[in-house]
Amino acid sequence: MKYLFIVQGEGLGHTTQSIALRSILEKNGHKVSTTFLGSNFFRKENELYRSIPHECFYSPFFLHRSDKKGINLFLTFLYNLFLAPIYLFTILRIAYRIRTSDVNAIIVFYDMIGQLGSFLSFSAKPVFSVSHHFIFEQPSFIWPSHRKAERIMLKIHSWLASLGAKKKLALSFTPESNIPTKRLYFVPPLLRHEILDSIPVEGDHIHIYCLQPGFLDSIINLAKRMPEKEFRVFLHEIKNEPQLPSNVNIYFISEVKFRKSMTTASLIICTSGFETPAEAIYLNKPLIVVPSKGHFEQYCNALDVLRIKAAVVWDSFNIDIDPVLKDNPAHDNFVKWISMSEEILLKHLSE
């Protein structure tokens, strides 16, 4: 089979998932002939895709709040509305490329522009939509009682990001019952072989991955309260770097350094995405997650890790580390679930 990938480029989660699935497909004799990677005017080159052939396209993205601790929904909406003509042109370009390509199927990693392009290609080629966001369609998921407007926005975005899909493959921390009437199927998280092959050890440092650079001051205050601990902080960007205490080291995202730091950490603290918590659980690391301000999806992700008792959740980096368990209680069941990922995914993509 020959596949075409369309990958959302916001953050690192969807790109790492696409690389993991690419590895599974190629291992089993399939080919990913074309990859479209979402980008924007501010995003730097994605290191993970530096050695993988791909084409970039403009896709909607979040704008940071002024304090760099979360997202500004109002400005995000206005800015992306202003870019609507570019997005429309991109949708039509992707639709044309899909229609004229010789691929057998398209896999979209939660990109609205790519999904709409696939839908409007009218190519009759099956489209599979992959994301952890679809877990929120599980009837047993308990939505927060407040923030209803954001819940509606997330549901609309997920609908657009799966429009016309033959199957919605929901990356889930745990096995769940499939819902064929919704085209909803639950699959294990997609972890790269570098993580799956890692041998974790317990080191002395605390590994911190922070999507929002505005939390750095709070992290420094945390480090000052624990001078005996080394803090390795990984950021996408930093401006006006403050004076750092001797036990804090800051790194820009580097795949090798990031992975080595995770596998040897005594504790992992991160903003509440999906991929890094999944990797932490697999590596049997105690985990603390802090949702970015104004980021409703991250708030829902935090509820999901609480559901499986895999992490302690804090609303800021003013953290009390003492209650954190030494091992991750979700680890054993999670490893069993991950071991089934290749078989389950190949089965869904072949049907």
CATH code for the domain in which residue 275 is found: 3.40.50.2000
Same domain, 256 and 184: no
Q: Copy the structure tokens of residue 347.
A: 């089965």
State which residues form the domain around 177. 2-193+340-350
pLDDT of residue 323: 54
Using alpha carbons, list the distances in angstroms from residue 162 to 115, 294, 337: 6, 24, 24
- 124's CB contacts (< 8 A; 6+ apart) are none
Same domain, 253 and 279: yes
Element (H, E) at 350: helix 341-350
pLDDT of residue 80: 87
Q: Is 119 left (phi over 0), alpha (psi -120 to 50) or beta?
A: alpha
pLDDT of residue 44: 63
pLDDT of residue 76: 86
**CA-to-CA distance for 86 and 328, rounded, in angstroms?**
45
| CA Rg value for the chain | 20
State residue 298 phi and psi, 5-degree precision: -65, -35
Cβ atoms of 289 and 268 closer than 8 Å: no
Sign of CA dihedral 150, 151, 157, 161: positive
Burial of 142 (0-12, 13-18, 19+ CB in 10 A): exposed
User: Residue 45 maps to which CATH number?
Assistant: 3.40.50
Q: Copy the structure tokens of residue 254.
A: 């580097």
**CA-to-CA distance for 47 and 51, rounded, in angstroms?**
8
Closest by CA position to 43, among listed 26, 27, 62: 62
Same domain, 37 and 105: yes
Same domain, 223 and 255: yes
Same domain, 281 and 136: no
Element (H, E) at 107: strand 105-109
pLDDT of residue 274: 93
State residue 181 phi and psi, 5-degree precision: -65, -25
Same domain, 139 and 205: no
**CA-to-CA distance for 273 and 291, rounded, in angstroms?**
8
Q: Largest Cα–Cα distance in the chain? A: 60
pLDDT of residue 129: 98
Same domain, 22 and 163: yes
pLDDT of residue 74: 83
pTM: 0.91
Q: Copy the structure tokens of residue 85.
A: 């003509």
Same domain, 321 and 206: yes
Same domain, 225 and 270: yes
**CA-to-CA distance for 314 and 49, rounded, in angstroms?**
32
Cβ atoms of 301 and 272 closer than 8 Å: yes
**CA-to-CA distance for 141 and 344, rounded, in angstroms?**
22
pLDDT of residue 325: 57
DSSP string, 219-243: HHHHHHH-TTSEEEEEES--SSPPP
Q: What is the mean pLDDT of each run of 10 residues along the chain (351 residues)?
A: 92 88 95 91 69 87 76 84 93 96 96 96 95 92 84 93 97 95 96 92 90 82 90 81 86 86 94 93 94 86 91 82 71 96 95 79
Same domain, 227 and 144: no
**CA-to-CA distance for 176 and 137, rounded, in angstroms?**
11
Same domain, 90 and 8: yes
Using alpha carbons, list the distances in angstroms from residue 343 to 21, 166, 229, 339: 12, 19, 41, 9
Residue type for position 297: E
Closest by CA position to 288, among listed 261, 307, 311, 322: 311
Closest by CA position to 11, among listed 36, 31, 51, 40: 40
Same domain, 174 and 296: no
Residue 80 CA, chain-centre distance (Å), reads 21
Number of domains in the chain: 2
